[in-house]
Structure formats: C-alpha cells, structure tokens
Chain A
Amino acid sequence: MPQFDPTSFPSQLFWLVVTFVILYVLISRFAIPRIGDVMEQRQKMMDDDLDRAAQLKAEAETAVQTYEKALADARAKAHEVMKAATDEMSRKAEERNREVAGRLAQQIADGEARIGKARDEALASVREVATGAAQAIAVKLADVSLADDKVDAAVGAALQESR
C-alpha cells in the first residue's frame, strides 16, 4: 500500500504543515471575525429590537392604565354630577311641593271658613225666614198671632231636630 511507503512522508508532512497553517491563518484572521461579526451584529440588533419592543409595550400599558384611570375618574365625576343634579332637583321639587301644599291647605282652610260662615249666615236667615213664615202661616191658617220669641224657640228646636 502506498500509505506505508515512507519516501512520500516528508513531502506529505511538509505540505500538510504549509496548507494547514495557511488555512489556520485564513480562518482565524478572516473567516471567524467576519462571520462572528455579522452574527454578533444580528444578535445585538435583535436584542435591541426586543428591548425596544418591551419598552414600547410598557409604554402602551402605562397609556392604557392612564386612559382607564381617566375613564374611571370621568365616570365617577359624571356620577357625582348626576347625583348632585338629582339631589338638587328633588330638593327643589320637594320645596315646591311643600309650598304648593301649604298654599292649597291655606286655600282649603280659607274656603272652609267661608263655607262655614256662609252656612251660619244661611242657617241664621233660615231661622228668621222660618219664624216669619211660621207666623204668617199661623196668621193665615188660624188667624193667631204668635209671640216672636216662642216661634223662634220652636223653629230653633225644629232646626235642631232636622240637623
């Protein structure tokens, strides 16, 4: 086998050393820095992008939080305003109710007083008219003139009864 022919060994070893050293220099000085560089750059860019994405996400979350807080505040405020308005309105309505009710009660009381007075007056005139009528009837039917106070008393009794 040619593999075990030592005459070719020096040449093989010499060229092995030469080519291997050239390849070593090529790879260590040229290939590795160039490949490593671009990969590092890519990694760095990816990391940067991820960092920026995380930052933007945090910012977006803060914005959402601010928005939600503002929304909640606005809701609370609206609720407050509505409650205040409702309270005010119900207070006013109550006041008016009370006022109107008072006036109505006053009017009712006035009316009742007037009615009572009118009835008293009417009753008083009924008694007068009845007395007169009773005397006149007595004169016409029996031709007797009755004493005023007696007739008046009788009419009073009759009125008392009919009441």
Chain B
Amino acid sequence: MASPVEQFAVKPIIPIQVGGVDISFTNSALFMTIAVGVSALFFWYGTRKRALVPSRWQSMNEVFYEFIANMIRDNVGKEGMKYFPFIFTLFMFVFLGNMLGLLPYSFTFTSHIAVTAALAVFIFIAVTIIGFARHGTHFLRMFFPHGAPIATAPILIPIELISYLSRPFSLSVRLFANMTVGHIMLKVLAGFVVALGVFGFIPLAVVFGVTLLEIGIAALQAYVFTILTCIYLNDAINMH
C-alpha cells in the first residue's frame, strides 16, 4: 500500500531550470493551470450571452460575483470594493484548488504550505502597507486600542503585536492543515476498504460520507480564507 502522504508529492512534468533554480512545470503547476482554465471556461461560458434573464451558468457566475461582492461590502464597506478583483481571484483560486483536489488522481495545490504561506504572507504584507498608507503612523494605534488604561500597555501591546504577526501563520496553516488532513484521512480509509476484504463496505460507506464532508470543507476553507482576508483588510482600512 502506498504511503498516505505520497499523494502530496510534487513531480515534475516538464523540467525547467533557470539559473540553477528548479522551476519545473509540476503536477502542482498543472492543477493551478487547470484551476485558471476552469475559471476562464466558467466565466466565458457564463457570460457569453449576458442575458437579462440569466441562464443557469450565468446565474452561477452572478452568484459567485454577488457572494464575494457582498462579503466585501459587509466586512470592509464600500472602500473595500477597490480590492474586489483581488479578493475574487483569491476565492476562485483557493476554491478551485480545494475542489479540484477532491477529484480522483488529482493534486491539491492548496495542501502545500509553500502555496498557502505565499498567499498568506502576500496578504499580510499588502494589508500592512495599505494600513500604513491610509493611516500613517496612526496605524500603530492598532496595537493599543483607544480607551485602554495606559498601565495595561506593557501587556496589551505585546499581545496585540503577537496576534497581528501570527495572522499569516494561522491563515496559511489553517488551509494547509485542513486540506492535508482531509486527504490523508480519505487515503487511509480507502486503504481499509481493500484491507478488510468482504467487510470493506463499512469503510467504503465511511469514505463516501467523509468525501461529502470534504467537499463541504473545501468550500468552507475557501470561504474562511477569503473572509479572513476581508477582515484583515477591514482592520487596515477602517481600523478597529
């Protein structure tokens, strides 16, 4: 039986070396490309008629659009709409990464800490720059809220600072861990189906249920990743 973590192996498909750095087109890159392709197809097919009364696919396009637009409006406000394209891209990328990963023989690029951390660190840096650009040094007020007694500063400031700095870690680890654990669990349970022979139907039923659960988690984690980005953006734009 193959190791349950073998599915996460990054295997080069087209080896590319640039200046001694390996940037091969891998299975991970293939599924990122597929995610972009699926998005392109989805939006192209959904908006090809642009009917006043939408077709099914156009409705789906509009549901995704409205979902993200409302998320930004509710969590960040009107000013956040500047970042709508980025948030929408982020959601589609993570959502499709999670969903495509559930297909048999596919690869889940969101189960790699390198990918989730890169996204999280980019968001963290961008949000911090937006915060300082909008509020200047006043943005440091984030770490010491108004109304708090000055005596609490030695405790409060380190706590706020740590909670702020831990954002990229929690954001990236949450997605990476959820995806990794889900896929390992499916692999192990699927292994039991074969190992138990006749009684394999029991883990099979469990695998069926867990697969449904994983579909839910895939959508939910994409949502959580996106909404946390919105909340961080809100902190930077409006300060809390």
Most buried by A among B43, B66, B89: B89
Once bound together, how far apart are the Cα atoms of A10 and B58, in whole Å?
37
Q: Are B5 and A19 in contact (CB under 8 A)?
A: no
A12-B114, A31-B61, A35-B43 known; A19+B50 contact, CB < 8 A: no
The answer to whether A19 touches B47 (Cβ under 8 A) is no
Residue of B nearest to A28 (CB): B85
Distance (Å) between the CB of B12 and the closest chain A CB?
A: 7
Could you count the A-B residue pairs with CB atoms below 8 Å apart for me: how many are there? 132
Inter-subunit contact A32/B36 (CB<8 Å)? no
B contacts, CB < 8 Å to A: 5-6, 8-10, 12, 21-26, 28-29, 32-33, 35-36, 39-40, 43-44, 46-47, 50-52, 54, 58, 61-62, 65-66, 84-86, 88-89, 92-93, 109, 111-115, 118-119, 176, 180
Report Cα–Cα, A15/B183, bound state, in Å.
22
Grouping DSSP codes into helix (H, G, I), strand (E, B) and loop, the A interface class, with mixed when no group exceeds half, is helix
5 A-B pairs whose Cβ atoms sit less than 8 Å apart in the complex: A1-B180, A5-B10, A10-B22, A12-B118, A19-B36
Taking a contact as CB atoms under 8 Å apart, the answer to whether A26 and B84 are in contact is no
Say yes or no: A12 contacts B92, CB within 8 Å.
Answer: no
Q: Is A142's beta carbon under 8 Å from chain B?
A: no
Number of A interface residues at 8 Å Cβ cutoff, please give it.
35
Question: Which of A37-45, A92-100, A101-109, A130-138 is the interface stretch?
Answer: A37-45
- Contact across chains for B65 and A39 when beta carbons are under 8 A apart: yes
**Are B22 and A2 within 8 A (Cβ)?**
no
Chain B residues whose CB sits within 8 angstroms of the CB of A3 once the complex forms: 8, 111-114, 176, 180
Asked if A27 contacts B92 (CB within 8 A), the reply is yes
Which residues of A are found within 8 Å of B12, using beta-carbon distances? 11
Q: Mark A55-76, 1 if CB is under 8 A from B, else 0.
A: 0000000000000000000000
Looking at B12, B21, B32, B119, the one whose CB has the most chain A CB atoms below 10 A away is B32
B114 cross-chain contacts in A, Cβ below 8 A: 3, 8-9, 12-13, 16
Given contacts A1-B8, A11-B24, whether A26 and B118 have CB atoms under 8 Å apart is no
**A11 and B50 in contact (CB under 8 A), knowing A26-B40, A32-B84?**
no
Query: Of A12, A26, A42, which is within 8 A of B39 by CB?
Result: A26
A20 contact set on B, CB distance < 8 A: 32, 89, 93
A32-B32 in contact given A13-B114, A38-B58 (Cβ < 8 Å): no
With A4-B113, A8-B26 already in contact, the answer to whether A35 and B39 are too (CB < 8 A) is no
What 5 new A-B contacts, CB under 8 Å, besides A15-B28, A16-B109?
A: A1-B180, A15-B32, A16-B118, A31-B65, A35-B62
A69 to B213, CA, bound (A): 69
Q: How far is the CB of A11 from chain B (nearest CB, A)?
A: 5
B43, B111, B119, B180: which has the most chain A beta carbons within 10 Å?
B43
Minimum distance in angstroms from A46 CB to a CB of chain B? 10
Which residue of B has the minimal Cβ distance to A7?
A: B22
In the bound complex, residues from chain A placing their C-beta under 8 Å from that of B8 are 1-3
Q: Are A27 and B85 in contact (CB under 8 A)?
A: yes
- Expressed in whole angstroms, the minimum distance between the Cβ of A70 and any Cβ of chain B is 41
